[in-house]
Structure 1
Amino acid sequence: MAIEHLPSRPGAPEHAGSALSRRRFLQVGVAAGGGLMLGLRLPFAGDARAADADGFEPNAFIRIGGDGQVVLTMPYVEMGQGTYTSIPMLIAEELEVDLPQVRLEHAPPNEKLYANPLLGVQATGNSNAVRGAWRPLREAGATARTMLVAAAAKRWNVDPASCRAQSGEVLHAPTGRRIAYGQLAAEAARMPVPENVALKRPEEFRLIGTPAKRLDTPAKVNGTAVYGIDARPPGVKIATLAQSPVFGGRLKNVDDTAAKAVKGVRQIVRLDDAVAVVADHMGAAKKGLAALVIEWDDGPHAKLSTSQIASELETATLNPGAVAQDTGNTDKAMARAVSKVEAIYEVPFLAHATMEPMNCTVHVREGGCEVWVGSQVMARVQAAAATTAGLPLDKVVVHNHLIGGGFGRRLEADGVIRAVQIAKQVDGPVKVVWTREEDIQHDMYRPYWFDRISAGLDEKGMPVAWNHRFAGSSVIARWLPPAFQNGLDSDTTEGAIDLLYALPNVHVEYVRVEPPGIPTAFWRSVGPSHNVFVTESFMDELAAAAKQDPVAYRLALLDQAPRAKAVLVLAAEKAGWGQRLPDRVGRGVSLQYVFASYLAQVAEVEVSKDGAVRVRRVVCAVDCGTAVNPDTIRAQIQSGVIFGITAALYGEITLKNGRVEQANFDTYQMLRMNEAPAIEVYIVQNSELPGGIGETGTSAIMPAVANAVFAATGKRLRKLPIDPAALKQSP
């Protein structure tokens, strides 16, 4: 499958949508050269129109050319998660072609045609690309296959039931005849679209469930893969920038005399709250930026500190919030409890620190704007560029590219807005590249959260009441306001409500507090990255209070959750739970159901005498329903585990005098290769609907590590990142 360059289809114009029934509609057209074009209209999409090859504007569609090549217009983006392998597997499975026969094209920005069916907007996130594509794209493949078989049967004047598809051909077993899809494409395009198609049963799968090598790996290894940062339109200049070091600050004055003297510097661009240096190459741009003498007006947040924000959140949790869950009567149950356990938890702001720093290339011309970028939200990019450039939406062309790490950072369009602001003052295309320092100090951060949690236990130490109130920012309220209802949103509360355990009386409240002077955004596993840490750490606290084994304690509460129970048993067994470990080495466990997947992790952690924490081994059992590509699932969990360990051990963004104190990987540390643990992933095979996988490993590992530290040292961690000084062994 060729994906090195992934050309985009021309942008589709906006037009009025019509009401859709619950069934999905398929549309067929004849492509230039006599091919078959099969368009798929997904839920939440507007009308798609069948015309000639250039004018056919489906939401997601299959195109089969006369050469037999299958082209899939991909409504999702690839940022390392394996989407560009797993989703083509769905089409190839039902269409009965080999995976290398499928070629991808980036979908153009069009909110009506390419909306994610689970989100209602054109976005790749929330671990739901495969979940969203699972049935619609399989139906598209099965419909195309059915029409191709019908076309062959008509040509041969035989019963379609006597024909079958295999490896891009239609076969007629009684006579041994066979014909390739490419030769049938034009005839298939004129066949009636079947009202219903039979999808394969799980036992018939040929590709789904088998390990498929990542199809984008060769291009990434040999350097031909094109990321956003690789875009080089003719005549492009390179720019880098300095933005106000305090969010909300302004540019007061700049002396650019020395900068203009740097060889290769072409232009200094001043904005209200930033200054950029445009040059022939990045080296000159950076030297020019360093030579600038800049004065800033720090604005209203000049004295802001992290402690102020934390104090505001702590105070907020003293007051009632929006009720996210209210089961039974926790007040009565708590009053009758034999014992009570209370705790306060805190988690910090976190940066994304993607390996590909923020970048965007823009060419603003008279009456038009062209953008080259890697983004998780193509339609929002187009809209943001149009608004910033003062142009109609159809005058902005966006070229999507592979993404060198998203983690939610590229669900935002702020980098595109900044690049267009700069490009408006530059004659010709300009690529704006943020330095690592600019990237970390002007990120949009995972929110800071403050939690108060308590439970009442019966005479056997089992929970009879569960109270949880937490305060922090709601990203959804800003990013998708209609999804924020009655003071709540599903992302902020996921992992805090509807827990797997048999808890008869539960009360959970959320207090929305938007911090001043620091923007918040989605981060890999977002709400669950906070909630699972709190709930699974606290569940361990309850087990300790009851003087019971943490795994046994959880199992006793899981009789009504067999899939959760199964992954917990499997992870514990594979990890050797209960076996002796050396001094200051412990095992910790966590269990979660988030992103529609069940996952249990056991972390084996060593704590040195000076308090340094090393994660030696992680064992994970996952039930994510149908495993489309087991290799991708394992890789994603491994990646998520590394990401989460990094956060647990090192991740923290702090403010002092309104400024982010961390600047590069020396002060915002990543887990080093020599620190990476052995990671084992065990997949529970079943035929349930697929669950999400890209973010699950991140949220589960943090409490597993914290619980392992308790097992090793007897010291309970309620605040991240882990402070080695608190774990230092006394002389």
Structure 2
Amino acid sequence: MTAHLSRRGFLKSAAAAGAALYIGANAKGVMAAASSADAALNPFVKIGADGRAIALIKHVEFGQGPATGLTTLIAEELGVTMDQITYEFAPSDPQVYNNLLFGPFQGTGGSTAMANSWMQYRNAGAAAREMLISAAAKEWGVDAASLDIVDGMVTGGGNSASMGDFVAAAAEMDVPAEPRLRDASEWKLIGNDATRRLDSPIKVNGQAQFAMDVHLDNQMVVMIKRTPQKGGVVASFDDSAAKDVKGFIMAQALPTKHGVAVYAENTWAAMQARNAIEVEWDNSAAESRSSAEIKDEIMAALDAEPTYNVNKADRAAVKAAVDGAATVLEKTFYFPLLAHAPMEPLNCTIEQTAEGKIVLHDGAQMPTGPHMAYQQIFELPADKIEINSMLAGGSFGRRATPDADYQVEAGLAFIMTDRSRPVKLVWDREDDIRSGYYRPAVGHKVRVGLDENGTIIGWDHQVAGQSIMKGTAFEAMAVHEGIDHSTVEGIADSPYTIPGQSLGLTDTKKATSVLWWRSVGHTHTAYVMEVMMDLAAKAAGQDPVDFRLSYLTGGGEADRKAAVLKLAAEKAGWGNAPAGHTQGIAVHKSFGSYVAEVVEISGNNDDGIVIEKVTAAVDCGIAVNPDTVRAQIEGGIGYGIGHAMRDQITLDGGAVEQSNFPDYEPLRISDIKEIETHIIASAEAPTGIGEPGTPPSAPALANAIAALTDDSQLIAELPMAEAGVYFA
């Protein structure tokens, strides 16, 4: 039956109509509950007396799906439908909303959003469910074990009522230390293909608010006249011509002298005024090398003894084994600088409230960075800094710099005013391409020896390039014994069991500013490993899939990698491509996930190569939102293939030569005809999905092109267009 409230119960319910239940963590990081947002508690879930639930999302949403994924976890454990819950972005507070894999730091990156939040958000939802059930059991005088929450209704023992009716009472209870988590057999939302993204409708109908959409009353727009050569500083500037631009307000050199801040009433005026300003730059400490010089430095490092012996192998013995092998394969690879190029260029808006609080409106990927920076810039305590997290239009790593670069620019631009007007910092596409941070330039030199039976007996692998982590706040965490693991990840920890392998690393001088890029070091290590495995397979006279499987032994990671390899080959019809088509395969583990891809192509280099289909298989543990998993694999494939096809950042005298999408061309929808993704069912905890689709994509394409041209066009230097590959 449905429970009917007495008059006394009705009055009690009416009095509690404004009540809410907050489940989260207190100042000590312990799960706790509160009845008001004013409590010293940062929640993960809030439930109102109307029965509506809100998930507080601690990770930025720039298209990769945490707003839906983390909300799904709360909804599943709580017992509500996706229509009965919404989401908000959590405030900046690294003591509570920290990334559990980063330490006391709130941030999104490394495909960790779901992996670090999996148990945290499930526990919050489960705790809320148990507290509401306990309150209902007490009200009804029944055993709590007989009750559950289904579609937002507390039911059982012949009783049924909205969970909102018990919010006030539940808020007075202690949070269970170990709430019962729903068994996988009970799941209705996790793993359900029908669960769709919560942010899609607002992005389609225009209601979504990105950081670029912020427009505060009386705001100024600031753009920066930037040095063409990274490291250059302002010697002097002349803004006399800018004064003729309607809407121009003023221009001032940044306190760091890294540019001139140009203030105007709107973005167009800021652009025009910035273009009119003449700046004399002091480039005495600026980057002055060309791309050719940077490449020469890396190639020279590959020919010398490596600085670091990554896997502590006896390199002399490995070299001797390779030299004495029946077949020796040797290749040198080069990967250029790459820009991130998100669709929404960098921007943020800063204001000061009447109470003296500094508020930053930003699609902040790592809010702890600007939060800490602003404490120094404005000489304020942490509680006087507020970050309003917005949707972001892409990132691929660019919005997460160790020095909070663009947020610091905004802070410095704001502090040079009287703070009476908000300031919106806007980068344009040319700023993004010419003045940003880049995937490092890296080189690999590999020598592989095979015996008479085609078995690998030696693998000498040298890497040289620019360290991302050294010299940053992340060095202590990411660099060990001098080795920046982000440069060699994917080789040093490969599931392949390769006998006689040595791995050396040499750091070279950084070109401009380098930063992690979608899948970080795996962008180049996967390419080299998988192209070399294909070459070795062909030299051994073996099928590339069978050859790889023979080096995936020992169980564990190797078995999971083998499983996606087999599934991708099966679903792609490996070895049975139509006449005139060839296939290439690659498999790689990154960010805890395993992805194999088969690229099928047709055509020829005279008329153009056509990418007919990419078939992917992925093991990312439990696929919380399968639809999102497929979308991320598709996006990762497009990102990896698009950049490998034709993109690079080149320098001339230290200045970036590319400027916009005409000369740094993104993937076109016509570049890949079809992508098909298959997800392996798993009971393992979820792992990363935002980045793992990228690493295997380019080597699978390269291997397909090599098969088409009988290895005469093995592509060892990217982009492929520079190597003479023509795409239709």
Same fold (TM over 0.5): yes
Query: Equivalents in 2 of 1:644, 1:57: separation in Å?
Result: 44
Structure 2 length-normalised TM: 0.91
Query: Equivalents in 1 of 2:621, 2:339: separation in Å?
Result: 31
Write the letter of the residue equivalent to 1:361.
Answer: T
Instruction: Name the structure 2 match of 1:319.
Output: 305
2:718 matches 1:720: yes
Structure 1 length-normalised TM: 0.90
5+ residue gaps, structure 1: 1-29
2:591 matches 1:573: no
Write the letter of the residue equivalent to 2:700.
Answer: A
- 1:48 to 1:575, Cα distance in 2 relative to 1, 3 A: closer
1:274-293 alignment to 2 at 5 Å?
A: 274-293=259-278
1:482-497 alignment to 2 at 5 Å?
A: 482-483=476-477, 484-497=479-492
1:27-106 alignment to 2 at 5 Å?
A: 33-40=18-25, 46=29, 53-58=36-41, 60-106=43-89
Instruction: Name the structure 2 match of 1:510.
Output: 505
Instruction: Name the structure 2 match of 1:679.
Output: 675
SS at match of 2:715: coil
Asked whether the 8 Å contact 1:613–1:724 carries over to 2, the reply is no
Instruction: Name the structure 1 match of 2:438.
Output: 445
Write the letter of the residue equivalent to 1:599.
Answer: V
- The alpha carbon displacement at 1:423 in A equals 1.7
2:409 matches 1:424: no
Deviations 1:175-215 (A, max 9, x none): x2112111111222233433423222222211000021111
- 1:320 to 1:158, Cα distance in 2 relative to 1, 3 A: same
- The alpha carbon displacement at 1:112 in A equals 1.7
1:386-535 alignment to 2 at 5 Å?
A: 386-412=375-401, 413-427=404-418, 428-477=421-470, 478-483=472-477, 484-516=479-511, 518-535=512-529
Asked whether the 8 Å contact 1:364–1:389 carries over to 2, the reply is no
- 1:133 to 1:346, Cα distance in 2 relative to 1, 3 A: same
Write the letter of the residue equivalent to 1:383.
Answer: M
1:278-357 alignment to 2 at 5 Å?
A: 278-301=263-286, 303-317=288-302, 318-326=304-312, 330=318, 333-334=321-322, 337-357=325-345
Query: Equivalents in 2 of 1:496, 1:58: separation in Å?
Result: 43
Deviations 1:362-387 (A, max 9, x none): 23579543211111011111112332
Alignment length (residue pairs): 694
Asked whether the 8 Å contact 1:586–1:710 carries over to 2, the reply is no
Instruction: Name the structure 2 match of 1:605.
Output: 601
1:6-21 alignment to 2 at 5 Å?
A: none
Query: Equivalents in 1 of 2:69, 2:423: separation in Å?
Result: 34
- The alpha carbon displacement at 1:336 in A equals 5.6
- The alpha carbon displacement at 1:537 in A equals 1.0
Q: CA RMSD in A?
A: 2.4
The runs of at least 4 aligned residues of structure 1 exceeding 4 Å deviation read 45-52, 57-60, 326-329, 364-368, 580-583
Query: Equivalents in 2 of 1:126, 1:58: separation in Å?
Result: 28
- The alpha carbon displacement at 1:327 in A equals 6.5
Asked whether the 8 Å contact 1:376–1:411 carries over to 2, the reply is yes
- 1:304 to 1:32, Cα distance in 2 relative to 1, 3 A: farther
Instruction: Name the structure 2 match of 1:26.
Output: none
2:129 matches 1:149: no
Asked whether the 8 Å contact 2:248–2:263 carries over to 1, the reply is yes
- The alpha carbon displacement at 1:634 in A equals 0.6
Asked whether the 8 Å contact 1:321–1:469 carries over to 2, the reply is no
Asked whether the 8 Å contact 1:610–1:724 carries over to 2, the reply is no
- 1:698 to 1:100, Cα distance in 2 relative to 1, 3 A: same
Asked whether the 8 Å contact 1:41–1:59 carries over to 2, the reply is yes
Instruction: Name the structure 2 match of 1:694.
Output: 690
Write the letter of the residue equivalent to 1:193.
Answer: V
Instruction: Name the structure 2 match of 1:637.
Output: 633
1:186-335 alignment to 2 at 5 Å?
A: 186-211=168-193, 212-271=195-254, 272-301=257-286, 303-317=288-302, 318-326=304-312, 330=318, 333-334=321-322
Instruction: Name the structure 2 match of 1:9.
Output: none
Instruction: Name the structure 2 match of 1:649.
Output: 645
Between 253-262 and 532-541, report the one with greater CA deviation: 253-262
Query: Equivalents in 2 of 1:289, 1:423: separation in Å?
Result: 17
- The alpha carbon displacement at 1:554 in A equals 1.2
Deviations 1:284-325 (A, max 9, x none): 221212222232222333631112222222233322233332
1:105-116 alignment to 2 at 5 Å?
A: 105-116=88-99
SS at match of 1:697: coil
SS at match of 2:696: helix
